[in-house]
Chains A and B, each alone.
Chain A
Amino acid sequence: MRRALVVLMAALVLATMCVGFASAAKPLPKLVLLSGDSQIARLYAQGIQEMIRKNLGLPLEIEAVDFKTRLQKMRNNDFQIVFAGWGADYDDPMTFLDMWITGGPFNDVMWSNSSYDRLIDVAKTSPDEAVRMKAMSQAEKILIGETPIAPLYWPAWNFVEHPYVKNVVRKTVGSDFEWKWSYTEGRPGGDKDQFLRMNFGEEPPDLDPATSTDQVSFWVINATYEGLARKNPEMRILPGSGLAESWTVSEDRKVYTFKLRNAKWSDGAPVTAYDFEFGWKRAIDPRTASQYAYMMYVVKNAEKVNAMEVPDDKDAKKAEKNKAIDDALAAVGVKALDAKTLRVELEAPTPFFLDLITFITYMPSPRHMVEKLGDEYASEVDKMVACGPFKVSKWQHEYKIVLEKNPNYWDAKSVKLQRIEADMIKDIATPLNMYDAGELDLVGVPGTYIDQYRNKGMRTIAEATAWYLEFNCEHEIFKNAKIRRAFSLAIDRQAYVDYVLKNGSLPATSLVPPTIHGKDGVSFHDVYVGDLLPKKADIKLAKQLLAEGLAELGYAMP
């Protein structure tokens, strides 16, 4: 009996081998990693290349292209593996998770999983935070398990500031900087004149909150405007912290009613609920063509209106189409009931809505100015007004911008800083020299200078950003989840941050960075998800998965 079994098994093995040889497994095609073309991006890509070579024995080519070319290739689904990153738009895990739903606008990997979609839907519509957290953590487990993306690292922000600089709050979501409570104490030369000097690195491209999209503009807008609420230094959102004095939420958590405080624009005009309605609708209006309009999609009907067709100048039905947009805008869920009351209706209960109201796109637009100036609004110092702690007092394009305390700000008594002077020097070494010479009060420390500044009081804070590899799930090799997972497990994330990045970044053991909060202000990653990936490479499992995956697809192991 036993002998028969052995013979049978031997026959089976032989047969399998014969079949294997007979079908002559296909040779593996060339594998290519698409990356940025900066020196740093190439270095980071080479780190991955080396780990895949060493741990999986696979040659991986690097195709380095410039930023826009890489994005276009991602959009066209013209890649195998690509190095990509995402920064949080708001403080909720959803900002990292809803992008991977089937057909999602940022789902360049063409991945689709119906359980995942369902869980995201639950988390988007449920008013119950506990239910949401559970759904999102399950969703993230599916995502990491199937590996359409392989998280690599969570970057860190390194900076130095002179000891006399106090209370410059650094945030991980929205505008990086918050200066409302900043001041100096013990500056050589005295603190009578309260000011800060820093380097913005570039010209803010767009200081109009309805259309702005970039960080530098966000810093200025966050300082010169105010939304319905302003995050406190502990990142909490409390009623009365912004232009809304208080608010109430309906039973079904879909309707918010904000009571506005007495506040003025820097030119003396009152800030009203109409300015909020006007500003939000301006961002939503497809004729404005605001890139961040999608941040408003939680507001009832906003997405629908934003997707409407904008008529061409020569369009015969121009008037008709414009009227259709105007009518649809009237049905959008934001309405000023009177000058002091703003009613907002949402598509679904959105627990992170209170985080969104601190976002730049949700700031009010001064209707009296915008209607007069149109697209010229916010193009020069005399063509803009402020309702935040500061106002722009000098703007030399591409060179320097000066913010000055706004005496009309409702909480001006809390603002100690009189002035913020900012250069726009793009070089990375120059600002460090200026900092050392005492010409700048604070400065960011780029990767290559970390060792030099580590002993000069350098501080590091974790960002709400994740970098990962995206796999094209329609590619002949990477459509196989085992192969994708093999690549992910072959990466030694700890070694990668320690020896390749060397800039304080953390190994990403899941997608959502630990800085993103879950229910009750705890870290979503730490409390609800945990490490879904090992910090060190799991070479044995990776090799096994690779072999299995390749066999399934009929490819020869190289």
Chain B
Amino acid sequence: MLAALWVIVTATFFLMHSIPGDPFLSDKVTEAIRQNMLRKYGLDKPLWEQYVIYLGNLLRGDFGTSLKMLHRSVNDMIRDGFPVSALLGLEALAYAVTIGLLLGTLAGFRHNTWLDYLAMFVALIGISVPGFIMGGLMQYIIGLKLGWLPIARWEGFRYTIMPAVALGLGTLAVMARMMRTSVLEVTNQDYIKTAKAKGLSQREIVFRHVLRNAILPIVTILGPLTAAIVTGSFVIELIFGIPGLGKYYVQSIFNRDYTLILGTTIFYAILLVFLNFLVDVAYGIVDPRIRLMRSRE
């Protein structure tokens, strides 16, 4: 895991320095002053030396100072931004997974009925309409025309509803479609027939045999999906004026804000690795065959 992180840090470090320009290049900086600024922030040193210094600081948990917001440390920016993105992401994830699984399951069991068609129609919209279009549309209709919810800002639960819905829509659709396929596949398996033959109640078949097996592939993608959604969608945070982490991923590259590029990338990598670990644990819970404890027995 540490080796993976090291590869990510190293690759990011050298790749970002290979993009033309630097944090202090602007249309209004003279070459002499720019060189002076590069020197002040240690960017005039040979690349390998900068790399060694950066790794040293990183080991102490110091991401350094942003090179765009010269008064702010990257640690502070992540500390302030992540909880916001996480809250928004978890909210989006919670509703998307719940409703997505519900729709998918219903569609699977009521295959080729109006319920199936309706669920898949919703899923189709979710997949084909990007979150920012849905967000903009909701802002205009629900926020401006109907005045039910605030158009933007981040002041309390009411403010989280529209962005969470917009952010989770794609996930909801993916969940619903995967779950439907999964349920359809599982219901055709022999062990379900066996269960029926054993005379188990419909309820028991659905919960103990179908759902438990059908949910496995979904658990697999839940890790990366959570990381992606929790670090926030750049666009959703942008249009709703949410002070999250998402925008840094894009802005830092545009600004050549080296420390922020590295800081956010490393943070994301750690989050991803951690969530994948959680998925492995969850796997064990859902699927006894994978449980490590059992295999030892």
Contacts and interface: CB of A to CB of B under 8 A. Distances in A.
Interface stretch (B20-28, B192-200, B263-271, B278-286): B20-28
B68 A205 contact: yes
A238 interface: no
A69 B41 CA distance: 21
Contacts of B153: 423
Contacts of A84: 27
Interface residues of B, number: 49
A54 interface: no
A378 B153 CA distance: 25
Nearest to A86: B27
Given A423-B241, A437-B144, A397 B72 contact: yes
Contacts of B147: 437
A31 interface: no
A423 B37 contact: no
Contacts of B41: 289
A398 B76 CA distance: 12
Interface stretch (B117-125, B135-143, B289-297): B135-143
B239 A429 contact: yes
A401 B101 CA distance: 41
A213 B28 contact: yes
Contact of A433 (B25, B30, B151, B255): B151
> In this complex, which of A75, A398, A399 has the most chain B Cβ atoms within 10 angstroms of its Cβ?
A398
B19 interface: yes
Chain A contact patch, size range: 35 or more
B27 to A, nearest CB: 6
A115 interface: no
Interface string B22-56: 10111111111110110111000000000000000
Contact of B32 (A75, A105, A399): A105
A68 B21 contact: yes
Nearest to A203: B69
A106 interface: yes
A213 B70 CA distance: 12
B63 interface: no
Contacts of A206: 69-71
B131 interface: no
A97 to B, nearest CB: 16
Contact of B20 (A72, A89, A213, A307): A72
A68 B21 CA distance: 5
B185 interface: no
B40 A310 contact: yes
Nearest to B30: A105
A363 interface: no
A339 interface: no
A295 to B, nearest CB: 9
B151 A379 contact: no
Contact of A292 (B22, B28, B32): B28
Contacts of B19: 68-69
A318 interface: no
Contact of A399 (B21, B154, B239): B154
Contact of B243 (A69, A106, A398, A439): A398
> In this complex, which of B40, B72, B241 has the most chain A Cβ atoms within 10 angstroms of its Cβ?
B241
> In this complex, which of B19, B39, B81 has the most chain A Cβ atoms within 10 angstroms of its Cβ?
B39
The 5 A-B pairs of least Cβ separation, nearest first, read: A68-B21, A379-B71, A425-B241, A105-B30, A399-B243
Interface of B: 19-22, 24-34, 36-37, 39-41, 68-72, 76-77, 80-81, 136, 139-140, 143-144, 147, 150-154, 238-241, 243, 247, 254-256
28 contacts: A66-B254, A68-B20, A68-B22, A68-B25, A68-B254, A69-B19, A105-B31, A106-B28, A106-B30, A205-B69, A206-B71, A208-B71, A213-B26, A289-B33, A291-B34, A294-B33, A310-B39, A396-B243, A398-B243, A398-B247, A424-B241, A427-B238, A427-B239, A427-B241, A433-B139, A434-B151, A434-B152, A439-B150
Given A69-B19, A375-B71, 9 more contacts: A68-B254, A71-B26, A75-B31, A206-B70, A289-B33, A398-B77, A430-B139, A430-B152, A434-B151
